[in-house]
Amino acid sequence: MTDWVLACATDDIDEEDLIRFDHEDKTYAIYNTDNGFFATAGYCTHEVQHLEDGLVIGNVIECPLHQGRFEISSGKALSAPVCEDLVSYPVKVEGDQIYIQIV
Amino acid sequence: MTDYQATNAASSGISVPKKNLKALMRRSDKPGLIWLAQWAAFLLITGYGVYLSIGTVWHWPAMFLYGIFLTVPSYALSHECAHGSAFRTRGLNEALLWISSLLYYEEPNHRRFAHARHHTYTWIEGKDAQMPFATPMNFKGWLLEITGWALYVYETRLFIRNALGKFDAEVLDYTPASELGKLKWGARICLAVYASLFGMALAGIMWPLWFVIIPRLLGAPVMLLFTLIQHVEMQENDVNICKSTRSFTSNWLGRFLYMNMNFHIEHHLYPMVPFHQLENLNAEIKDQIPQPDPGFIRTNLEVLQVVWRRSMGGSTRAASIRQAPHMINTPDLQEMS
């Protein structure tokens, strides 16, 4: 069972930035990059720190606590101290609304 | 979601508008490259002094001066590169992390993971992986720290154990299992480099002694006086960075040598802000954080007075620097009451 959940409006996220989105008992990060909108799990996989205040550089999100880096579009861990990939979620944009598909 | 709170701006009740923070976090190669060129110039000038002084009474003073310019920036650059914030280009960060960590005397991968844990649990006893001395500090602890003895014993043991793949429990705690191989091979490479330097010196090739080993040892106390005052006499086991950490004022030379880490509260609140933006971060949040302590020399002199008097059983109240309340013991006043 998968659901498309309304996360936010497209203009809620600045260019090359992200916002936090909480839904039920989980938290997510929604990104606006030059390559489009993406969604991943909200917490860094290294030590528990939300990515919402992290730095977006192109297609990379850098954790605000230890500067571990992930590829936004795939969730792939790019450099220490992060070693475990982020879970990423499908995104669709309808009008000016962003939806993420939550399993 | 979490059973702990990371020590940072959120845990300290400090905030910066996101737009302003994004501007402060922005990465660039230019400031780091300028700093690197300045460091190279200082090393060339003071290193030339070492070369000219060989065979004279000025040789050891020249190595001490050169050693300050070798050792303090090595520590600072290793730290900034461990954060990945010295340069925008990752390859430059990683290459300089290796070189500077070799000079500082810590295996680069361990430097990164241990320092990450230091930021998660800043000055939390039993959890902070970079809490090198017993606190409250006494004079013996100060001597062990400032001479570099504590650092050399700790890191040498760690180099050997990690090179053998016999990792301490705390190393296993803060290092992901998939990265242990990097620690092991990193330690082996470092030991091979150090053995080569010592081997050359033993074989009569003297430049490693005059330009690396002895200056590094002579410069260590100055480096450690910088690092000591980051947290000494501050509050342990408190998630508020403003209580556990100290910033201090500095002249341009201290700020250059230390890559602006005199803004240490600011750094711990927002560790993703690169060294060249810390002064601007200070301007953004100075109304929310304590005043900096009064300079590198005066802060260190007051710390030395306090640890000496603590060992002698006297009052441990400092003249002006910030101290956690439980660090202050006033025996004379207690007797009067």
Report pLDDT digits (tens) over B153-202: 999 999 999 999 999 999 999 999 999 999 999 999 999 999 999 999 99
Instruction: Write A68-76 long-range contacts (CB < 8 A, 24+).
Output: A68/A44, A69/B84, A70/A40, A72/A31, A72/A33, A72/A38, A72/A40, A73/A33, A73/A35, A73/A38, A75/A40, A75/A41
Give the residue on A whose Cα is nearest the Cα of B17.
A53
Minimal Cβ distance to B120: which of A14, A65, A80: A65
Distance from CA of B6 to the nearest CA of A (A): 7
pLDDT digits (tens, 9 = 90+) for B208-236: 999 999 999 999 999 999 999 999 999 99
Question: How many contacts (CB atoms, under 8 Å) link A and B?
Answer: 66
Return d(Cα B35, Cα A13) in angstroms, integer: 35
pLDDT digits (tens, 9 = 90+) for B37-59: 999 999 999 999 999 999 999 99
Amino acid at B76: A
Question: What residue spans of B86-179 are helical by DSSP H?
Answer: 90-104, 108-120, 139-146, 149-164, 169-174
Tell me which residue has tokens 């060129």.
B37
List residues of chain A with CB under 8 Å from any CB of chain B: 14, 17, 27, 43, 46-49, 53-55, 57, 62, 64-67, 69, 79-81, 83-84
Q: CA torsion, points A29, B90, B107, B229, in degrees to nearest 10? A: -70
pLDDT digits (tens, 9 = 90+) for B279-288: 999 999 999 9
B92 touches chain A (CB under 8 A): no
Predicted TM-score (pTM) of this structure: 0.93
Confidence class of residue A35 from pLDDT cuts 50, 70 and 90?
very high
Return d(Cα B306, Cα B206) in angstroms, integer: 41
Give the residue on A whose Cα is nearest the Cα of B7.
A65
The DSSP H or E segment spanning A37 is strand A36-41
pLDDT digits (tens, 9 = 90+) for B232-249: 999 999 999 999 999 999
pLDDT digits (tens, 9 = 90+) for B316-335: 999 999 999 999 988 766 55
Residues of A in contact with B83 (CB under 8 A): 66-67
Residues of A in contact with B176 (CB under 8 A): 46, 81, 83-84
Q: State residue B1's pLDDT score.
A: 47
Q: State residue B332's pLDDT score.
A: 64
List, in sequence order, every beta strand (DSSP E) within chain B. Answer: none
**Tokens coding B124:** 């939390």
User: Which residues, 6 or more positions from B55, have their beta carbon under 8 angstroms from its beta carbon?
Assistant: none
3 state SS of A17: strand
Minimal Cβ distance to A81: which of B88, B112, B270: B112
ipTM of the complex: 0.83
Is pLDDT at A48 greater than 90 in this prediction? no
The DSSP H or E segment spanning A89 is strand A88-89
How are beta strands A3-9 and A60-62 bridged, if at all?
unpaired
Residue B17: Cβ-neighbour burial (10 angstroms; 0-12, 13-18, 19+): exposed
Tally the C-alpha atoms within 13 A of residue B209's C-alpha that lie toward its C-beta.
Answer: 12
Q: Which residues pair with B293 in a beta bridge?
A: B248
Is pLDDT at B307 greater than 90 in this prediction? yes
Distance from CA of A67 to the nearest CA of B (A): 6
Q: State residue B44's pLDDT score.
A: 98
Residues of A in contact with B178 (CB under 8 A): 83
Minimal Cβ distance to A67: which of B1, B18, B84: B84
Q: Which of A16, A47, A51, A82 to mutate to test the interface with B (most CBs of B within 10 A)?
A: A47
Is the peptide bond preceding residue B331 cis, with omega within 30 degrees of 0? Answer: no
- End-to-end CA separation in angstroms for chain A: 6
Which is nearest to B329 in space by CA: B228, B313, B319? B313
B18 touches chain A (CB under 8 A): yes
For residue B290, give the DSSP letter. P
Average pLDDT, chain A: 93
Return d(Cα B206, Cα B185) in angstroms, integer: 28
Which is nearest to A17 in space by CA: A45, A46, A54? A54
- Using the beta-carbon criterion (under 8 Å), do A83 and B6 form an inter-chain contact? no
User: Which residues, 6 or more positions from B180, have their beta carbon under 8 angstroms from its beta carbon?
Assistant: B165, B167, B172
